[in-house]
Structure 1
Amino acid sequence: MIKELIIDLSPNGATIALLQDKQLVELHKEQTTNNYTVGDIYLGKIKKIMPGLNAAFVDVGYEKDAFLHYLDLGPQVKSLLKLTKQVRSGGYQSKLLDNFKLEADINKGGKISEVFTKGQVIPVQIAKEPISTKGPRLSADLSIAGRYVVLVPFSEVISISKKIKSNTERNRLRKVIESIKPKHFGVIIRTVSEGKGVTEMQKDLLDLIAKWEILITKLPSVEPSKKILGEIDRTSTLLRDLLNSDFQNIYLNDSAMHEEVRSYVRDISPDLENIVRLHKHREPIFEHHGIEKQIKGAFGKTVNLAGGAYLVIEHTEALHVIDVNSGNRTANKENQEENAFQVNKEAAREIARQLRLRDMGGIVVIDFIDMHKPANRKELFDYLRAEMSHDRAKHTILPPSKFGLVQITRQRVRPEMNIVTSELCPTCHGTGAIRPTILLLDDIENNFNYILVEQNEKNITLCVHPYIEAYIKKGLFNIQMKWYFKYKQWIKVKTNPSYQITEFRFFSAKDEEIKL
């Protein structure tokens, strides 16, 4: 499997596309205005305690108070409260926890009123970004993630990813971490650590300890509801979690970010530094790699499949519903069961991709085409599970019900990716009526008078539909030549087949569109 990462940087943020064998499987948008990213740590202030919910509402600076449930406090929340109080009062000077006395774990079935009082401050971590009308979901069980390990304060436990199967390797990794981890810090060893040496593991752990020291340093002076420690940006997070030898290319369209990503890859995986490439074509990066077309085809209510079948995807506040339709794929009675099975398998593969692509979370109900053979239903279920195994989000898939419905719950930590694929007609602007075509050249010349005469622009380009370009250039003494004599400068005429017949745009000498 060949993976590629395409990063489109714009003034509003970055759009990141993950491709597997040239097919778009994940799309992430990182806005420069988004201050509430999963993993960020804030100094929260308890605003309201809700005994009925066994939860608290916490002020972290968002327009709506964030939600912190008792089950998300973590067993050592009293140690965190004690450390926060001591550090902010100047009573604890060390940056690590060597001299810190841990408090007893809280009772799993306890009440939140036993832990918090109104107005209390505590460091909290964003567990879910603000979604729809809800504020962020918080956790007080802090952790700082690295490439190979995750650092967990107030713990002594070393956990190892279940995906590392070899007992010999598990024992080796445990001994490596035991020899280098500081006191009162737990460590989660990630899957990517398999086969890594002491030097790489130690460097990653030291980087995380340095972040913890930054948190302790900033804690005395930071104001309540302000950020203490920020997670790395989405691009670096994806590289940290996904980068392996399967990656063939990482393309970026910004030279400054190209150097940053190259430097980051050099630090975490030096042998892959050369796969980071700068996009130098004039064509936009997403169009050049065929991503724009895939986005238009993959988002929307109806998603067409290769064999003529299609999916209908509907969203509600409570759940997502996906209906599988065979479309124009016909079959006689003899092979109707086999046809339904093949359509369902094709749909299952696309559904697994759609869940990742749109980052759909919560409850998903899928209505597959009815099949009568139990063996086919079981094989479809196994096939869907295999396709979903590539999804990094936590999910649970239930076997088909007696009505043929498959239910999936999928972890939701950030808002669903929603892209509008329908476009407003650039000619009629949604009215259904267009300007008379006989006035098209008059409209173009009126704009020439403004751009060339009033604005004094030079070396402009007119971009039109190919039919209009042919009409403008027809003959020896054509319309383009007449413009040359009239405006005393040559006006270049280019075509764009995607334009409507009466659509036209103007571009400056720097190839920037002139807004009218």
Structure 2
Amino acid sequence: MSEEILVNVTPRETRVAVIENGMLQELHIERGWRRGVVGNIYKGKVQRVMPGMQAAFVEVGLERAAFLHANDIVRSSPDAVVDGEEAALPTPPPAPIMDLLRDGQDIVVQVVKDPIGSKGARLTTQISIPSRYLVLLPQSKVIGVSARIEDEAERHRLKQAVTELAGLHGGHGYIIRTNAEGQPVEALAEDIAYLSRVWNVVERRGRESPSCSVLYEDLSLPLRAVRDLIRKDVEKVKVDSKETHERLQAFVAKYMPVLAERIELYSGERPIFDLYGVEDEIGRALDKQVPLKSGGYLVIDQTEAMTTVDVNTGSFLGQRNLEETVYRTNLEAAQAVARQLRLRNLGGIIIIDFIDMDDPEHRRQVLRTLEKSLAKDHAKTTVYEFSPLGLVEMTRKRTVESLARQLSEPCPECSGRGSIKTTETVTYEIFREITRAVRQFEAARLLVIASPKVVARITDEESTAVAELEEFLGKSIRFQADDQYLQEQFDVVLL
């Protein structure tokens, strides 16, 4: 399987696309005026402790106060054992938040989830700083190994090497990342030395800096992409900016010289994303409906509470019988769903409504296909068995906004509902508002300002109703169309 990473840089926006076998699988976006803050470490000030929620709001200098739950305040044993790249250290049941924090207290925290929607950033005091091959856990002594490294001999080698190296640099804890598989001890030693320097700077800044200061800021998107996304399968990292290319070359020369030959400057005439069809894929990733090659399709609905995916056979008729048609459609849909979750960066609770299957073995195969297709997802996913209603429930870890919410905003006409009131409905609302206004206030005549479509309906199809209303109220009513008014908007003016 061939894999490439494309880096597209414009003055105020950087985009990174992960291409597998010619198809876009992931898209990461960073805009200069709104960089993500996940991974940043701050010296915060506790703004308000809330015993009822076992949490506190902490001011760290962002637009909104951030949220810190008692579960995310480190009090765990330094000898705890973890296994997995994103595994959290186990903690005992949280003490009452009032015993852990007080209003006005300074506290060092790290952002684990960007502000999403109306919610502030999510914080933890369990600091972790990633490098190419390791994640530093400065408050722990644990040495963990990514669960994706399956070879037991390699796991033992890596753990032994990092344990010995950690003892030379303060005895901190580390998680050994998937990228470390097969790496020599020298490469691990360089990472540990680098992380030790970073942590020393964070500690010094924590002592000297005022509240609401940034103590550590994660790398920019292109550098993070090289650090986190390059795997054995990645053949090239193509960059369309000379300046960014030079920065990446300097970065890999310092921290991962074996990758230098994979970083390539793209200087073609066609925009790099157009060349790989990425722009078209981004446009399709904003649509609710996703066509399948067989003729079936998915319908993806993202709400505040969860994301739902409905699978339909569409025009796919199959060749044998209905059960076989449904099975084939669901197999294709399972692969498509896994790709769409990565591409759209959908997280939280996800409900997949596959087409009903009677054969238990077919259900098992579809579930297995979904899990296998999710295996390359960098975000942590958990998939559950088919429910009694034939639904598959799953979760996907979310740390940043979905692609749609990064690139789109709610429709001003329908406020994100996806539908608007009909002109007939608005017409009768206007009639009710006219009656209400006349009963409350004295006026010789009335002026109604509304959208052209609504006014056209009133003066045409509802002209008789208007005449009857004027006679009933004893008032003259005039209607004025205004292009600035949306279909649901109107004003009744008393003259």
Q: Which category describes the TM-score, using the shorter chain as reference length?
A: 0.7 to 0.9
Matching residue of 2:24: 24
Q: Check whether the contact 2:67–2:123 (CA below 8 A) recurs between aligned residues.
A: yes
Which residues in structure 2 correspond to 1:161-240 (within 5 Å)? 161-181=146-166, 182-240=169-227
Q: In 2, distance between residues paired with 1:258 and 1:387?
A: 32
**Percent identity between the two aligned chains:** 35
Matching residue of 1:451: none
Matched, 1:365 2:365: no
Matched, 1:336 2:336: no
2:387 to 401, 408, 433: 401
Q: Supply the AA of the counterpart residue of 1:224.
A: S
Q: In 2, distance between residues paired with 1:283 and 1:163?
A: 38
Matched, 1:413 2:405: no
Matching residue of 1:151: 136
Consecutive unaligned residues of structure 2, counting only runs of 5 or more, are 79-89, 410-495
Matching residue of 1:260: 247
Q: In 2, distance between residues paired with 1:166 and 1:287?
A: 40
Matched, 1:15 2:15: yes
Which residues in structure 2 correspond to 1:48-67 (within 5 Å)? 48-67=48-67
Matching residue of 1:386: 372
* Structure 1 range deviating more: 378-387 or 34-43: 34-43
Q: In 2, distance between residues paired with 1:146 and 1:331?
A: 50
Matching residue of 1:439: none
Q: In 1, distance between residues paired with 2:311 and 2:229?
A: 31
For residues 179-237 of structure 1, what are the alpha-carbon distances to aligned partners after superposition, in whole Å with 9 as ceiling and x for unaligned? 22123411111222222222100001111111111112222332211211001122222
For residues 6-31 of structure 1, what are the alpha-carbon distances to aligned partners after superposition, in whole Å with 9 as ceiling and x for unaligned? 11111222011100011000001011
With over 3 angstroms needed to count, the CA separation of the structure-2 counterparts of 1:17 and 1:106, relative to structure 1, is closer
Q: In 2, distance between residues paired with 1:369 and 1:107?
A: 43
For residues 46-80 of structure 1, what are the alpha-carbon distances to aligned partners after superposition, in whole Å with 9 as ceiling and x for unaligned? 000011111111001122210000111122699xx
Q: Check whether the contact 2:298–2:310 (CA below 8 A) recurs between aligned residues.
A: yes
Which residues in structure 2 correspond to 1:313-332 (within 5 Å)? 313-331=300-318
Q: Check whether the contact 2:38–2:111 (CA below 8 A) recurs between aligned residues.
A: yes
Matched, 1:109 2:122: no
Matched, 1:42 2:42: yes
Q: Check whether the contact 1:319–1:364 (CA below 8 A) recurs between aligned residues.
A: yes
Q: Check whether the contact 2:19–2:26 (CA below 8 A) recurs between aligned residues.
A: yes
Q: In 2, distance between residues paired with 1:76 and 1:340?
A: 49
Matching residue of 1:33: 33
* CA RMSD across the alignment: 2.2
For residues 342-397 of structure 1, what are the alpha-carbon distances to aligned partners after superposition, in whole Å with 9 as ceiling and x for unaligned? 11111111110010011101111111111111110111111111111111111111
Q: Check whether the contact 2:126–2:139 (CA below 8 A) recurs between aligned residues.
A: no
Consecutive unaligned residues of structure 1, counting only runs of 5 or more, are 79-104, 422-516
1:302 to 289, 292, 295: 289
Matching residue of 1:444: none
Q: Supply the AA of the counterpart residue of 1:226.
A: S
Give secondary structure in 1 for the equivalent of 2:386.
Answer: coil
Q: In 2, distance between residues paired with 1:224 and 1:142?
A: 17
Q: Supply the AA of the counterpart residue of 1:396.
A: T
Q: Supply the AA of the counterpart residue of 1:386.
A: K
For residues 398-423 of structure 1, what are the alpha-carbon distances to aligned partners after superposition, in whole Å with 9 as ceiling and x for unaligned? 111122211111111111111459xx
2:263 to 250, 258, 276: 276
Matching residue of 2:479: none
Matching residue of 2:477: none
Matching residue of 2:75: 75
Q: In 2, distance between residues paired with 1:398 and 1:315?
A: 20
Q: Check whether the contact 2:76–2:92 (CA below 8 A) recurs between aligned residues.
A: no
Give secondary structure in 2 for the equivalent of 1:217.
Answer: helix
Matched, 1:132 2:117: yes
Q: Check whether the contact 1:77–1:140 (CA below 8 A) recurs between aligned residues.
A: no
Q: Supply the AA of the counterpart residue of 1:172.
A: R
With over 3 angstroms needed to count, the CA separation of the structure-2 counterparts of 1:230 and 1:420, relative to structure 1, is closer
Q: Check whether the contact 2:236–2:262 (CA below 8 A) recurs between aligned residues.
A: yes
Q: Check whether the contact 1:76–1:141 (CA below 8 A) recurs between aligned residues.
A: no
Q: Check whether the contact 2:30–2:36 (CA below 8 A) recurs between aligned residues.
A: no
Q: Check whether the contact 2:16–2:225 (CA below 8 A) recurs between aligned residues.
A: no
Give secondary structure in 1 for the equivalent of 2:186.
Answer: helix
Q: Per-residue deviation at 1:107? A: 5.4
TM-score for both structures, normalised by structure 1 = 0.73
Q: Per-residue deviation at 1:130? A: 0.4
Q: Check whether the contact 1:45–1:58 (CA below 8 A) recurs between aligned residues.
A: yes
Q: Check whether the contact 2:71–2:91 (CA below 8 A) recurs between aligned residues.
A: no
Q: In 2, distance between residues paired with 1:364 and 1:167?
A: 34
For residues 316-359 of structure 1, what are the alpha-carbon distances to aligned partners after superposition, in whole Å with 9 as ceiling and x for unaligned? 11011111111111247x51111111111111111100100111
Matching residue of 1:452: none
Give secondary structure in 2 for the equivalent of 1:397.
Answer: strand
Q: Per-residue deviation at 1:112? A: 1.3
Matching residue of 1:350: 336
